[in-house]
Amino acid sequence: MIKYTPSTEVDFLVIGSGAGGAVMAKELAVAGFSVVVLEQGPWGDYGHEQDFNKDELNNRYPDPIDALMSDPNKQRNTFRRNASEKAMPGRHTYGCVIGGGTVTYGGSSWRHLPWEFNEASQFGTIEGTGVADWPVSYEEIEPYYTKAEWEIGISGERVNTPLMAPMSKPYPVPPLPMKSSGALFKVAASKLGLTVVPNVAAIITVPYMGRGACINCGMCSGYGCQVKARSSSAVALLPIAEHTNRCEIRANSYVREISVNDKGKVTGAIYFDQQRREIFQKAKVVVLSANGTETPRLLLLSSSKRFPNGLANSSGLVGKYLMTGNGGGATGLFEHPLNEYKGCVTGAAIVDYVPNDTQKRGFYGGGRMTARGFTTPIEYGLGGVHSTATWGAAYKKALIDQANHKLAVSNFISQLPVETNTVDLDPDVKDAWGLPAMRITTTSHQNDFKAMQFFIDRSVEILQAAGANQVWADQVSDSRGGAHARGTCRMGNDASKSVVNKFHRAHDVPNLFIVDGSSFVTGGRNHPTMTISALAFRAADHLVRAAKAGNVNI
């Protein structure tokens, strides 16, 4: 595998190796450019078939060197509901390993629907929000969705319905089993006139591109896939980048600054290696793909005389319009065993409430409905039981009665972009490297609470129609951070109202590209990964053409 010295000016330095960064690294390396990928996480100890085990404890409490997620005690962060509060220690985490969040995510890979790119034109703006059209249309992105699905390896079924995005080509791999949750969804759907479709997932159900099929082991979302059937960036894309012998992937590399020269161009990045030595890697172009929360933080950490308010932040919008996604639903108890712990976490979805129906419902919003039972025994025993007691005979009885009979409808619901929902630097708290910690400030728009209540009510209805003996409705609760962060470096044509242009180049910096969930203008239905990857394929396509012509100023 090729190794570059830090003083070698590589063509591209990619920060982050998840859904956005890995696509960029692979496309740029295959096109003939020299690439260094900096990933703060380790290589990740999973997917070694000879060691295959389903030990929940070892996987929940891995040695730090094998952890797959960030650690709030190291990647410290603080949280507050609004700017008048003092932020308290937060528990925001994200995928932190080669492959980023794609290593541990549930795998849902839904496209945005065409109208999710121009909601302001279609449904109007909403007071107190930054709802705006994207500078790109579905038609422009469609070929890149197809490319992403076929190159990454996505399973699903092309269903001819306005409730799913139109596709120029079917999915490359047949869908996952529907499970008992899917069968019960179908029972409810036939009574309520709803539409059930198989999940669309980055999990292969037949051998594909040299990888074996999913064995339905059940230790899925939250865990590294032991048989490499989950099409994470780490197994589907980065090996191709490395194989070019032009791409070096450096794990355990924590970037603290993107450096600029006096002409206002980036020159590379300074990072801490595993021994906490500071290293400057020189590069012609920097691609920032550190996720919707770390990307704005790194831009704010990279302030300089030339960019006193943070890099690429002349609009003042770096870190603003944070969307982390809302949820809420209900849980039902069924007579017979569901065995949802077998197979992947999501087998099917109800898609009727994905579109807006502002006139009928009286609010903006929509979401995708999925269902799941308990997946792993310890997690279930510790926190999965509906019971007022938390120990003793009553708790044990509830635990046994509910196990394997309980199904939770979990919904992926829209969240509006609000300017005061932000990622910035905490003035007091430092991370384990001595850098200002990330501070998250967020309160959902009033409209979002109505959307959550709507989905809780629909979930109750569906569980009852499916024959549940008992139903517990969730309480409406606001999001606090976590995966799926979007919106914090929004794209647009107007440099005063956005951070990057339609090809992901920073308006302020000609050789800086920002390619991850932070580019989103509106949030979609809280299933962002496939759109991040498709946008990255599109950005890479344009960047490769520009770079080959000798000028990345696209």
- Which ranges constitute the DSSP H helices of 425-528? 446-465
Which 3 state secondary structure label does DSSP give 288? strand
Ranges assigned E (strand) in 176-265: 196-198, 247-250, 254-260
Q: How far is the CB of 377 from other proteins (least distance, A)?
A: 4
Instruction: Kindly tell me which of 246 and 406 has the beta carbon lying closer to other proteins.
Output: 406
Cβ-contact 246, 27 below 8 angstroms: no
Instruction: Kindly tell me which of 124 and 377 has the beta carbon lying closer to other proteins.
Output: 377
- Give me the amino acid identity at 517: G
DSSP string, 379-426: HHHHH----S-SSHHHHHHHHHHHTTTEEEEEEEE-----TT-EEEEE
Instruction: Kindly tell me which of 399 and 476 has the beta carbon lying closer to other proteins.
Output: 399
> What would the two tokens of residue 474 be?
């969730």
Instruction: Kindly tell me which of 145 and 334 has the beta carbon lying closer to other proteins.
Output: 334
- Give me the amino acid identity at 348: A
C-alpha 197/C-alpha 190 separation (Å) is 13
Instruction: Kindly tell me which of 37 and 466 has the beta carbon lying closer to other proteins.
Output: 466
- Residue numbers at the binding site for other proteins (CB under 8 A): 52, 54-58, 61, 177-180, 182-184, 187, 215-218, 334, 336-343, 374, 377-378, 380-382, 390-393, 395-396, 399-400, 403-404
Q: How far is the CB of 60 from other proteins (least distance, A)?
A: 9
C-alpha 324/C-alpha 319 separation (Å) is 12
C-alpha 371/C-alpha 186 separation (Å) is 12
Q: How far is the CB of 386 from other proteins (least distance, A)?
A: 14
Residue 519 DSSP one-character state? G
Tell me the CA end-to-end span of the chain in Å, nearest whole number: 31
- Residue 534's contacts (CB-CB under 8 Å, 6 or more residues apart) are 111, 141, 144, 145, 147, 148
- Host H or E run for residue 234: helix 233-236
Which residue do the tokens 């029972």 mark? Answer: 187
Chain mean position to CA 418:
19
Instruction: Kindly tell me which of 306 and 396 has the beta carbon lying closer to other proteins.
Output: 396
Q: How far is the CB of 406 from other proteins (least distance, A)?
A: 11
Instruction: Kindly tell me which of 396 and 450 has the beta carbon lying closer to other proteins.
Output: 396
Q: Would you tell me the crossing angle of helices 446-465 and 179-192 to the nearest 10 degrees?
A: 90
Q: How far is the CB of 390 from other proteins (least distance, A)?
A: 7
Q: How far is the CB of 401 from other proteins (least distance, A)?
A: 10
Q: How far is the CB of 399 from other proteins (least distance, A)?
A: 7
Q: How far is the CB of 235 from other proteins (least distance, A)?
A: 18
Q: How far is the CB of 367 from other proteins (least distance, A)?
A: 24
Which residue do the tokens 């704010």 mark? Answer: 300
Instruction: Kindly tell me which of 72 and 381 has the beta carbon lying closer to other proteins.
Output: 381
Instruction: Kindly tell me which of 55 and 127 has the beta carbon lying closer to other proteins.
Output: 55
